[in-house]
Structure 1
Amino acid sequence: MSAQASSMRSVGLGALVAASVACSQWASMLLWMPNPRSHMVWFPGAVLLSALLLQPRRRWWICLLATAVGEAAAFGALGVPPLAVMTAMLGSLVATPLVAAALHALGRRLQSPLEDFRLLTAFVLTGGLALPMLSAAWIAYAIRGTVLAPYLSDWPNVSLAQSLGNLMLVPAVVWLAMQRRQRVPLEASRARLAVGAALLVLLCLAWTSPLPMERLQPALLVAPVPFLIWAMVCFRSLGASLAMLTVGLLAMHFSAAGIGPFIRDDLATTTVAVQLWTVLLTVALLYMTVVVEQHATRTYALQHAHGRLQAMTVQLMRAQEDERARIARDLHDGINQSMASIAIRLSIERQNAQGPARALLAELQAAVTEVSEDVRRMSHALHPSLLRYAGLAPALQALCDAQPSTTRVQAQLQDVPDLPLDVATALYRIAQEALHNIEKHAGASEVQVGLEREGRRVRLRIEDDGIGLQQGAAAPAQGLGLLSMRERTREIGGALHIGSRTAERSGVVVLVEVDCPLTRDDRVPASGARVYSSTDRMDS
């Protein structure tokens, strides 16, 4: 079954190459028919070179045989004997596999062929210069005195025609086939395609309009540049090669029809002018395309690395939360319980002791109780149990309560039930980091913490009357705290704003949309929110 499938693939490949060669030969004939001895372009050799570059070497014989069959069929429609066609094609059938083998050997040593100037230079020198010259030299020698002589011009014209076909068609075909294996995907949109179509229409109008071509020739020669740049920027190598192929065919078609900026006194001179202009523009565009491909690949690599870094950051923060929860449980259930047991034993011993020993045991009991309280606070700071069992608002209230007495903290916290635990944890950590930064850097005397629900939106706001954050070029580099707040906000799909909110206050605002249902309790107006002031509580 596999042998039959392989045979079918070989037959299909041969039929495709033969049909492509025949069609490309007829298309080339259409561009030189006004004067059979003036050739614009010759595509069959480019079709063969493209097929050899895309197929493994074990199938090259199929491509060579199919090329010969396609050329014989194309010229057979004009009454040319197949033997004469095979004789003229012999040079190309021998030289093209050698060029393809050299390019294959170089391409295998490169990590990304589309981005390497060495491979492009090798293709221009071999496929665009050496191969056309050798093939044209053989054709000029082989057709003397044959029926093909009326259809072929001198060696320079045939050489330019083959060079132009290779430079225009081979990159388009190869890059189109390689696009499926590209690491950087193309992004097409209707707006981009509409812009390209408009630029192409404008180019056609400029080249066919009844304008004084002699005076506007410099501008008309560079008229395709906007269309080529659009194709190169939007679709990179594939777009640039297809756009150059389109522009070249338009220039040849208009010149063969006697219109456009390339018209000279005779068709032979016009043909050389079109060929030289197209070759030079194609080579320049190919080198520019390599630069665009390099930029696209590096940009994509940076974006991919940034995405992996963000994913790793999220995993690290989740692992950090898990480790904090484990340590908090160990402190609460292990060390704190042991401290409580020691305090109870000390209390019992103190009741049975007399004199100085009783006072010493009382001091030890007080010290153990104080250490137990410190452990409890540490456990709560690592992983507040209120967040899991009571919700975000009580946990934030306890966080405000734990702030130093030098700072007046006012909290307006609206209860948000059914908030996902990961969202509640992220908002709690953002508030914790913001309050820590205010305490350490802001020099604030008053802080306001707000939590409110607006439909599906939950807003967390922390404002202070401190010095705020510097903006612009003089701003210091962001520390790990601010980066942590940004990553936590991004993880829950929220928006973080850090900076000056009013003339007197600066702060942090986090907006996040949640899918939890809005209950009747959530519709408490802002005036009904609980107000907490650590300074007022402490003073009372």
Structure 2
Amino acid sequence: MEELQTLKSIAEMLNQANDLTQMLPSVLKELLHVTGITSGWIFLMNEKGDYTLAADYNLPEGLLWKYKKPMCEGSCWCVDKYQKGRLNRAANIMECKRIENVIEHSWGDTEGITHHATVPLRAGNESFGLLNVASPNKTYFSQEELALLEAIAFQIGTAIKRIQLTQKEQELALIAERNRLARDLHDSVNQLLFSLMLTVRGTQEMTNEPEVKEMLSYIQELSQEALQEMRALIWQLRPQGLEDGIGSALCSYGKVLGLEVQVEVKGVLELPSKIEEAMWRIGQEALNNCKKHAVIKACNVEIQVKDKTVIMTVRDEGCGFHYTEGGSMPTLGLAGMKERAEFLGGSFNVISKVGVGTSIQVNLPI
């Protein structure tokens, strides 16, 4: 009866969750509370086997050393077994390598924790990571305890899958809405601007008044500029050529802006959709800046993969501006690029000198 109440309590919490970053710490805390286990942590794994510490609760002092460095770096037996596909059920880990490292290097008190249970987080045939739990002086978890942990881990895995599917559905809905808006703009405003240009051109031929011709010429220039801005906006909403790679898309976008973009791609890139989207948006803003501020008609884009990181550099030899490297971003556009990169765990840097040009570099983990 107590086990059923525990499962019910966890299930109710998971059913209400819609954000992984909030759900995992909350459910871990609730799990430890209802089971009486003192400490726990959750590793999430990607398809390449790389892990991240997604949640932890009441870790001993030694594992908290230097902002949880013992938990975020290096490998251990449970992660190694998971990566090799040898961890399919809840299991007792006889000794924890991370705890051993803490003791060996005197990083802090382990508070009596030496062993832990480890349970894969699964939903059907998919695996998402590991749930680890431990208590002081507890060296063994019974089969009944492991069975309960396994049931809870399955609930967590199912919730992770549900949230991921919901996020994917939202992303697809956003793309569909962008495409719809791009079509509407192309079919309405874009066509109206084009018609306005033709009307102005025809009206110019119907008058000999210099002042009228000058005004009509000015209107035609404004219409041409507005049409170009509209085409660029449509491109931002629905990039053509992105299916051929980020380099091709940025080169095509440069043509829309009237820029000659030289693109160099080093290596074969298979980028996650979120990374590709971020690079596209950052690249867009960088090319917009070249067009508006650099006072040039050409720039260079370099994209390469190095040490599980994709690096994109956009350089121009324009007028440049005063900027101290490492300082705050001087414009909202640059600040937005920096925020977008850091949101995905990457970095963003700017180098610029007056009369020399500007270089922006974004590094994103893949």
**Class of the TM-score when normalised by the shorter of the 2 chains:** 0.3 to 0.5
Q: Hey, which of these two has a bigger chunk of helix by percent?
A: 1
* Larger-gyration structure (1/2): 1
TM-score of the superposition, structure 1-length normalised?
Answer: 0.31
